[in-house]
Amino acid sequence: MMTTTHILGYPRVGEKRELKFALEQYWKGATDVKELQQVAAGIRKKNWSLQKNNELSFATVGDFAWYDHVLGTSLLLGHVPKRHQRGFPDLDTLFRVGRGQSQASCGCSGEAASDMTKWFNTNYHYIVPEFTADDKFELSWTQLFDEISEAKQQGHNVKPVLLGPLSYLYLGKEVEEGFDRLALLPRLLTAYQAIFTKFEKLGVEWVQIDEPILALELEPKWLDSFKLAYQVIRSDVKVLLTTYFDSIVDVLPTITKLDVDGLHIDLAAAPEQLNDVVKALPSQWVLSAGVINGRNVWRANLHGKLNGLRDAKQQLGERLWIATSCSLLHSPVDLDLETKLSEETKNWFAFAKQKVAEVSWLSRALEGDEKAVEYCAQYSQPIIDRELSTWVNKASVQQRLAGLNANDAKRSAVYAERAHHQKEVLQLPLLPTTTIGSFPQTSEVRQTRAAFKRGDITSAQYKTAIQGCIQDTVKRQEEIGLDVLVHGEAERNDMVEYFAENLSGFQTTQFGWVQSYGSRCVKPAIVVADIEREAPMTVDWTCYAQSLTEKPMKGMLTGPVTILCWTFPREDVTRETITNQLAFALQDEVSDLQAAGINIIQIDEPAIREGLPLKTRDHAEYLDWAVNAFKVSAASAKPETQIHTHMCYSEFNEIIDSVAALDADVITIETSRSNMELLNAFEAFNYPNEIGPGVYDIHSPNVPNVPDVEWIEQLIEKAATRIPVERLWVNPDCGLKTRNWQETETSLKHLVEAAKRLRTTLV
């Protein structure tokens, strides 16, 4: 028999983001649900056909999601927050839970969206399930079963994918006190039994049940619950228990006692676990080897992977399956669409479509197909040759990195001394007001950038247009009365992609889009070589803005850890190496900004928390080099140069000492959504430097989103009970890029007015 092959999931956005545009048209009311469903059906059909054409053993079904797959699971289980329940759940129910509903659109008091957070250590987001003690679960959403029937009618051998019951519970949260959501497991398992009954009736042979929490360091109560769960839901349908993103060797004694039929492991994230898993695998189980990396864009060295799997193949025979490491939703869709890459560079990459083919060729080679063996060797040669490229490995960059020492991460003065210098130079009032960096990007701004990229306008015309945007932004800020201004970032399409385009060592793409959630897609750049800054990146725009005002202008940079986390990294060097290369490049930019007279520089690190490894025991090592890289970025700043940083929604408690170790003069964080509760961590730790807790939530779906003065005052007063008022800043909780000018100006005027009032009452 041929080796069984499959993937864990495929991108659902479409080759050119067809789902994104269909969703947004539907949300605007420009199309109806039938038109939306037609677009989705077309995407699914193409995805399944690709898998069949590559002779995979299964077409994976259930990986399509309208917003995210966890929210889809919630609707499958009939588990909808009470505020969104309006009879039998439908597609609009799903969108209300994911996006919220404003007072204006529903004629009510408004319905808040459920919280959203990152899917483990990826840039994909999911809607957090909300649990209460009286929750019930029953099948209410037939999408999964409908799609199984749809795929079968198209002639596919289906393998449904389903988020496992323990991971579903674990990834949610209790929204009332006094109970543990794990107590809901028996009720939840009843619903899963009903799902398996439906699978049997539909003729399903294998189901992929994802339990990614098995890669975490679970508390005993969670780990011990797996045995019960998989005894209860056992049926005639065979279960492939699926794990990914890290090793599961620690919990093999628990896993191998479960009533399942096979195990999938991620050999891209943790290749070292293969031998241990093969030794421990029960004799009747299959092992799905996730050898094709679903989270990165690099072409696989199929020749090397073939050699690495031979022993396992010899021991397991047909019980060894070949697969992607995780769902391919984390990869761009199709490399064939890229027409502007050099032939050399293009031969280094594989997007989702190409990774499906890699699975197929590798399995055939493993069976001894000589043509496939020869193909794998030829296919792998470009990625092997790349290792010796002097274009990739730059002696000057490596020499600078080799000299990195503790002094490279030190400011020339401690915070107390710096604060004294900055107070004299900046002359800022109590409760200084500022923004996080970006201002509304109108369609005109986006069209100007696009025209420049297409070559429709000259460099001089582009510069004039962007300077006009900056001039307008500075004028508006002065009229609002802000104390520290920004240039507005009109020249930036994305806070990471902009720097990738201006640093040597990155490759950007035309269609390398990856779904973040719902209709939101990102296009990460790719780190292809050693990174260096060949010329200043932000100095001209920032200095032009400073020339328009007497008020201090803040330079805006994206930090090294965030650039790392929000790009596709190299696989031939460590993440620490890439981050340190970025840190030196940013240090040079800081030096040039302050030399040009910019005395406030913000180095954003919103991704530092999400970069944490999955296992707690690995946190300290990561935080050490991540913090050090930030400090290297800022180390050239003189005492009178004030360094700011910004962090997005994050549980700060577990990393508060590392946040303090960044030694930024000012940190701005998102706290309005939690009503300043996130400040508890900073209060308990006695955070020593200045802090700007965001005083209104710019991500609210309400339109207009304008907080009143009294509301802002209340939040500032609450913050002042936790942080000394002389160390408080007043700012929104994130950039204003996605809002419109009318609400932005009104909101910021309210923010400035609240700060002015409190300067007299809080002294």
The CA distance from 460 to 467, in Å, is 11
Residue whose C-alpha is closest to residue 43's, from 21, 11, 75, 70: 11
| Mean local confidence (pLDDT), 722-750 | 90
Binding residues for 5-methyltetrahydropteroyltri-L-glutamate: 17-20, 118, 123, 520-521, 566, 610
Instruction: Count the Cβ atoms, other than its own, within 10 Å of residue 416.
Output: 9
The CA distance from 300 to 292, in Å, is 7
**Eight-class DSSP state of 132:** -
Residue whose C-alpha is closest to residue 697's, from 721, 723, 715, 719: 715
State the residue for tokens 């864009």.
297
User: For 509-568, what is each residue's pLDDT tens digit?
Assistant: 999 999 998 999 999 999 999 999 999 999 999 999 999 999 999 999 999 999 999 999
Q: Is the pLDDT of residue 700 over 80?
A: no
Q: Is the pLDDT of residue 298 over 80?
A: yes
**Main-chain phi, psi angles of 7, to 5 degrees:** -120, 160
State the residue for tokens 């022993």.
311
The CA distance from 13 to 44, in Å, is 10
The CA distance from 35 to 39, in Å, is 7
User: For 215-255, what is each residue's pLDDT tens digit?
Assistant: 999 999 999 999 999 999 999 999 999 999 999 999 999 99
For residue 119, name the pLDDT band (cuts at 50, 70, 90). Answer: very high
pLDDT for the residue numbered 111: 76
User: For 602-621, what is each residue's pLDDT tens digit?
Assistant: 999 988 888 999 999 999 99
Kindly list the distances between the CA atom of residue 49 and the CA atoms of 109, 151, 287, 362, in Å, as whole numbers in the listed order: 46, 10, 25, 19
Sign of CA pseudo-dihedral 605, 607, 613, 615: positive
DSSP-derived pairing of the beta strands 520-522 and 320-324: unpaired
Instruction: Count the Cβ atoms, other than its own, within 10 Å of residue 629.
Output: 27
User: For 486-506, what is each residue's pLDDT tens digit?
Assistant: 999 999 988 999 999 999 999
Kindly list the distances between the CA atom of residue 448 and the CA atoms of 340, 501, 530, in Å, as whole numbers in the listed order: 21, 17, 31
Q: Is the pLDDT of residue 182 over 90?
A: yes
State the residue for tokens 């404003």.
102
Residue whose C-alpha is closest to residue 591's, from 657, 519, 533: 533
Token pair belonging to 139: 């099948």
Kindly list the distances between the CA atom of residue 298 and the CA atoms of 16, 51, 352, 571, 582, in Å, as whole numbers in the listed order: 20, 20, 11, 8, 20
Q: Is the pLDDT of residue 640 over 70?
A: yes
Q: With contact defined as beta carbons under 8 Å apart, do 473 and 437 qualify?
A: no
The CA distance from 11 to 514, in Å, is 8
Q: Which long-range contacts (CB under 8 A, 24 or more apart) does 398-402 make?
A: 398/530, 400/584, 401/577, 401/580, 401/581, 401/584
Q: Is the pLDDT of residue 316 over 60?
A: yes
SS3 call for 693 = strand
DSSP-derived pairing of the beta strands 520-522 and 514-517: antiparallel
Q: With contact defined as beta carbons under 8 Å apart, do 658 and 627 qualify?
A: yes
Token pair belonging to 231: 């005894």
Binding residues for L-methionine: 436-438, 489, 604
Average pLDDT, the chain: 93
Q: With contact defined as beta carbons under 8 Å apart, do 194 and 139 qualify?
A: yes
Q: Please indicate whether residue 733 or residue 491 has the higher confidence score (pLDDT).
A: 491
The CA distance from 156 to 125, in Å, is 30
Q: With contact defined as beta carbons under 8 Å apart, do 321 and 287 qualify?
A: yes
Instruction: Count the Cβ atoms, other than its own, within 10 Å of residue 277.
Output: 22
The CA distance from 617 to 627, in Å, is 17
User: For 591-601, what is each residue's pLDDT tens digit?
Assistant: 999 999 999 99
- The neighbouring-strand residues paired with 730 are 433
| Mean local confidence (pLDDT), 342-346 | 93
Confirm whether pTM is higher than 0.85: yes
User: For 120-136, what is each residue's pLDDT tens digit?
Assistant: 999 899 999 999 999 99
| Mean local confidence (pLDDT), 327-338 | 98
Binding residues: 17-20, 118, 123, 436-438, 489, 520-521, 566, 604, 610, 646, 648, 670, 734
SS3 call for 162 = strand
SS3 call for 220 = helix
For residue 54, name the pLDDT band (cuts at 50, 70, 90). Answer: very high
Token pair belonging to 402: 């080799």
Choice among 434-448, 620-634, 657-671, 699-713 with the minimum mean pLDDT:
699-713
The CA distance from 44 to 47, in Å, is 5
**Continuous segment of H or E residues that includes residue 337:** none
For residue 109, name the pLDDT band (cuts at 50, 70, 90). Answer: very low
Residue whose C-alpha is closest to residue 344's, from 299, 286, 309: 299
Instruction: Please report how the helices 33-53 and 143-153 are oriented relative to each other, as an axis angle in degrees rounded to 10.
Output: 50
The CA distance from 187 to 181, in Å, is 11
State the residue for tokens 């994976």.
60
SS3 call for 163 = strand
Q: With contact defined as beta carbons under 8 Å apart, do 702 and 746 qualify?
A: no
Residue whose C-alpha is closest to residue 221's, from 188, 255, 183, 177: 183
Binding residues for Zn(2+): 646, 648, 670, 734
Q: Is the pLDDT of residue 689 over 90?
A: yes
The CA distance from 588 to 503, in Å, is 12
Binding residues for L-homocysteine: 436-438, 489, 604
Residue whose C-alpha is closest to residue 506's, from 572, 550, 569: 569
| Mean local confidence (pLDDT), 334-355 | 96
Catalytic residue positions? 699
pLDDT for the residue numbered 110: 57
| Mean local confidence (pLDDT), 137-146 | 95
Cis peptide bond N-terminal to 382, omega within 30? no
Choice among 81-85, 337-341, 485-489, 704-708 with the minimum mean pLDDT:
704-708
Token pair belonging to 218: 């679970």
